[in-house]
Structure 1
């Protein structure tokens, strides 16, 4: 749907687009590839009319046997749903917000299961200023589905930090295909087994391409994949700050993200 809204795709042929809730049930469809940018926003909810005729909303959870965990976090539900859609050797690239990488509870369960049942080999940390909605901090996770096995399929996760010290705006400095050239080269799509780190603790601590082993990730608090290592120069290099409009946009994004978190806290407190 996102592609169609941006005038990309075959508008004359039949499509798989449906107005139904894709998360309600497993349709049984299995595919080779999934490229997805699921709707942003952490909570799934339903709206109903109460006895007084007023509109109310309530958290919506999905009780699916193919899901590893039941949660109202729709981003985690989409990750589980997409994994179900894949054939045993299917591949996926999915845009997810930062909370999918660090959230505890259901989030930690999904990350552990994803690394166990698939080869979660790559995370691309996206820069700010590439989405219409302010306050969005997102990533692309790449994983290959695998058949059932005793040991986890993920041996290592490669992370490309395309966010720290990189600034884009939708109008003055939009993201272009050539900006991804270094990531594509590092990704080594023809044979990911031949990848090489650009990061080195001594010779290149600012390298954007770094490998983390499965054991290193499992040892992290909540199995967090929210990993950064490059020093944020905007905090120290006052003589080379971004343009004022870029700074203003980043401030707005950070404030919007903070407000979204506070809204969620207020909603939970109100219902408790």
Structure 2
């Protein structure tokens, strides 16, 4: 689950953040982008230092040097020692052009970075930021992840097009349920800052350490395993740097409107999809893929994305995706058709209802996780439902940590969903299974409340006579008190 950030690191980030605001940069995405560039420069220098140590040990030349000999002055360890004015000149006039040309013309990184702009307004603000970021220990990958999460959590207001970040603990639950392995090809077609891809990469590294030892697997991990698309260039830059900070050297993160004709080329390419697609995005109906509209004729982005996920998966491929609750019970033809497809033509495994505060402060929308496998030949026997009441955080705008947390239980029960212990649970419990025939009979309604049974507790009532006696004695007590008061006043 990563190590929680130490307070001193949080404080450093908060100080950097405040310095930007007082320096006149108040757009949170721009602040994050500039801090990310700086962190990234420091990371590049660390990678080269590591390569140099290895070269010294093995007496071999450095395999892929990041900086050539005549580019020494572009390294963090060198320019961070300069005077503020000299540093400002180096970074703005030389380091940024270097970043824009990195990775050759072909890499996705070069594609994101060709627009990289240095917008820190003054040498003093740059020097102050570089000093503060130098204090942070970046040698620990978990730490990098937590640091980045904390930065991203500062995008407090909901972005455009219904974009908002998926909380990391929800992402980690979905990744653990899907158990990605070295052979998977993983995609998030609405990747934003790449949270799902990063968590999947961490899961693979932790559970399949051989991926870092076997050269072929390692090469695949670094460049072929993780794919993300988005149509927001700033998000793509942040997302690809996020992946690179997590050891994915050549992230496949590209600009694409997944619902347009451009998405057609992704059919059957992926074995695992993890996503939280935009719900209420404005849709350019004219630009939407005709092939997709033939599957489901709708303007609702969440339905089009679901149809697109099915199209992107290879046979046997699986998905865990977040949908707004309306997908589960919406009554339009498109809603019903998609649910029928999931239940009858594919293998729908689970519907996990999340509490409506999970996405606060971005949005109060009620959502659910759908887990399914693409078979194109049916296979749904039972659907497993889980009603999450608590996710370890308060469900208000503050989202403060609390004791109550169902997520470990979701994972434990999910792993036993085929066992008799799970299949025989009563429908009054937090999880239960519903046979396919019953779901079909309900017009493929997938809302948990349709099938959940509520337990009413018998309430013990007192005898009416007893209650009347009590009222009597209270009345006479009041009468006596009033009489006593009258005597006092007389």
Q: What TM-score, normalized by structure 1, do the two folds share?
A: 0.67
More deviation, 113-122/136-145? 113-122
> Distance between the aligned counterparts of 2:294 and 2:404, measured in 1?
35
Instruction: Answer yes or no: is 1:217 the counterpart of 2:453.
Output: no
Q: How many matched pairs?
A: 211
- 2:95 is matched with none
Bigger helix fraction: 2
Change (3 A) 1:175 1:97: farther
Give the structure with higher Rg (CA): 2
Instruction: Answer yes or no: is 1:121 the counterpart of 2:349.
Output: yes
CA offsets 1:24-53 (integer angstroms, 9 cap, x no match): 131135111111011121x6423xxxxxxx
- Residue 11 of structure 1 and its aligned partner are, at CA, apart by 2.6
Cα-Cα RMSD: 3.3
> Distance between the aligned counterparts of 2:277 and 2:328, measured in 1?
15
Where does the alignment leave 5 or more consecutive residues of structure 1 unmatched?
47-57, 234-272
- 2:151 is matched with none
Change (3 A) 1:183 1:5: closer
> Relative contact order: is structure 1 or structure 2 higher (C-alpha 8 Å, sep ≥ 6)?
1
CA offsets 1:146-173 (integer angstroms, 9 cap, x no match): 1x43xx3211111001149x96235343
Partner of 2:413, secondary structure, is helix
- 2:251 is matched with 15
- 2:186 is matched with none
Q: What TM-score, normalized by structure 2, do the two folds share?
A: 0.39
Partner of 1:186, secondary structure, is helix
- Residue 134 of structure 1 and its aligned partner are, at CA, apart by 2.7
Change (3 A) 1:138 1:101: same
- 1:193 is matched with 418
Instruction: Answer yes or no: is 1:103 the counterpart of 2:330.
Output: yes
Bigger strand fraction: 1
Change (3 A) 1:198 1:153: closer
> Distance between the aligned counterparts of 1:183 and 1:88, measured in 2?
26
Partner of 1:225, secondary structure, is coil
- Residue 61 of structure 1 and its aligned partner are, at CA, apart by 4.8
Q: Superposition pairs for residues 1-272 of structure 1, below 5 Å?
A: 1-4=191-194, 8=198, 9-11=242-244, 13-25=249-261, 26-28=264-266, 30-41=269-280, 44-46=282-284, 61-64=288-291, 68-104=295-331, 105-131=333-359, 132-146=361-375, 148-149=376-377, 152-163=378-389, 168-169=395-396, 171-174=398-401, 179-188=406-415, 192-194=417-419, 196-197=422-423, 199-200=425-426, 205=428, 207-220=429-442, 222-228=443-449, 229=452, 231=454
> Distance between the aligned counterparts of 2:260 and 2:276, measured in 1?
18
